[in-house]
Amino acid sequence: MDVKKLANEIIDGRRLGRTDDLDFLKDCSLDELIKGADHIRKELVGDRVDLCTIIAGKSGNCGENCKFCAQSAHNHTECEVYGLLDYDRILAEAKSNEEEGVDRFAIVISGHNPSDEDFEKLIEIYKKLRTDLKISLCASLGFLTQEQFERLYAAGVRSYHNNIETSRRFFEHICTTHSFDDKIANIKRAKAAGLSVCSGGIIGMGETMDDRIDMALELSELEISSIPINSLIPIPHTPLENLPTLSEDEILRTVAIFRYINPTCNIRLGAGRKLISGNGVAAFTGGASATITGNMLTTSGSTIKSDRETLKSLGRKVI
């Protein structure tokens, strides 16, 4: 398969699907694949980079048994545990992020879903943020009802984050307290409420490249607009603590594959950027068009300022 020719076909409208033989993506020239992915990115998404930040609005003591997560009560990692933050604390973070040129801000909470009391508080928090700031608002609150999604939208939230994490086949090896179908149903409820959905996953959890291709296809079928790709950094005391970290080449191949399969969406770098030279530079020139930023675990030491400077040096456009 001529990946350069395929990239041009994708730019002209071709879309890859489950009926296509995609095995070539696993062993074709990485250099050519990366160049093709960046060409697709530039032509179909452009040079504008979408920056988002998150705040852990509630942390720890989660009843879900996701094997990668420090916040799961099943994993005994001694992570920080606290209840829902108050409005002033959340506003301060969001305002600071807005002033530094971030596009969107998300409140993320631990747990299967918020309690009724916390959900009402979150609705009021989002209403106030919408009044006090101009930054686009995102939420990552777990599993919600259709009515709750509609109330979030009415409160000013415009995007919702809910990772599918991995392929359908591999999902049960990572989590058993909820199912892959639960994830899909939740995403469809969010979309039905008018929310743009951000959904991706984690690579390096023991899955195969076929699993990653399957995940990319699933996200394409769901018409996801933003796909975060996180590379596992094994956390002590989780079931995945002894897994080896991925090589840079494997991460870059995965990012490029996701661009070929999801050519018009934002491919967003998340956790594990430090595994890529220049804290993600090679991925930004290999198909990635967005990133999580800020002083947080997911970016491993990068800041909004340093990310903006890096992206500008690559000729990319940020606010």
Q: Rounded to whole angstroms, how far apart are CA atoms 281 and 264?
A: 20
Residue 2 lies in a domain: no
Q: Per-residue confidence at 301, pLDDT binned at 50, 70, 90?
A: low
CATH number at residue 291: 3.20.20.70
Residue 6 lies in a domain: no
Residue 219 lies in a domain: yes
Do 51 and 309 touch, CB atoms closer than 8 A?
A: no
> Helix, strand or coil for residue 53?
strand
> Helix, strand or coil for residue 58?
strand
Q: Rounded to whole angstroms, how far apart are CA atoms 319 and 265?
A: 19
pLDDT tens digits for range 143-195: 999 999 999 999 999 999 999 999 999 999 999 999 999 999 999 999 999 99
> Helix, strand or coil for residue 156?
coil
Q: Is the pLDDT of residue 298 over 60?
A: no
Q: Is the pLDDT of residue 299 over 50?
A: no
pLDDT tens digits for range 181-213: 999 999 999 999 999 999 999 999 999 999 999
Residue 85 lies in a domain: yes
- Identify the domain containing residue 263 by its residue range: 22-313
Q: Is the pLDDT of residue 300 over 80?
A: no
- Say how many Å lie between the first and final Cα of the chain, rounded: 38
Helical pair 248-261 and 209-221, crossing angle rounded to 10 deg = 30
Q: Is the pLDDT of residue 296 over 90?
A: no
Do 197 and 222 touch, CB atoms closer than 8 A?
A: yes
Please give the share of the chain, as a percent, with pLDDT higher than 90.
Answer: 89
Residue 12 lies in a domain: no
Burial class (CB in 10 A: 0-12, 13-18, 19+), 65: middle
Nearest to 17 by CA among 200, 251, 214: 214
> Helix, strand or coil for residue 72?
strand
Q: How many domains, the chain?
A: 1
User: Which amino acid is it at 251?
Assistant: I
Sign of CA dihedral 102, 103, 105, 106: negative
Q: Rounded to whole angstroms, how far apart are CA atoms 201 and 230?
A: 6
pLDDT tens digits for range 243-290: 999 999 999 999 999 999 999 999 999 999 999 988 899 999 999 999
Strands of 169-243 (E only): list them: 196-198, 201-203, 226-231
pLDDT tens digits for range 39-63: 999 999 999 999 999 999 999 889 8
Query: What kind and span of H or E run contains 291?
Result: strand 290-292
- The set of long-range contacts for 156-160, using a CB threshold of 8 Å and a minimum separation of 24, is 156/126, 156/127, 156/129, 156/130, 157/126, 157/195, 158/104, 158/195, 158/196, 159/104, 159/106, 159/195, 159/196, 159/197, 159/198, 159/225, 159/226, 160/190, 160/195, 160/196, 160/197, 160/198
Strands of 32-157 (E only): list them: 50-58, 104-109, 136-140
Residue 13 lies in a domain: no
User: Which amino acid is it at 209?
Assistant: M
Tokens of 222: 């769901």
Buried residues in 108-121 as b, exposed as e (16+ CB within 10 A): bbbbeebeeebbeb
Give 235's DSSP letter: P
Give 319's DSSP letter: -
Residue 88 lies in a domain: yes
Residue 7 lies in a domain: no
Tokens of 116: 């009724």
Question: Residue 280: left if φ>0, alpha if ψ -120 to 50, beta else—which one?
Answer: left
Whole-model pTM? 0.95
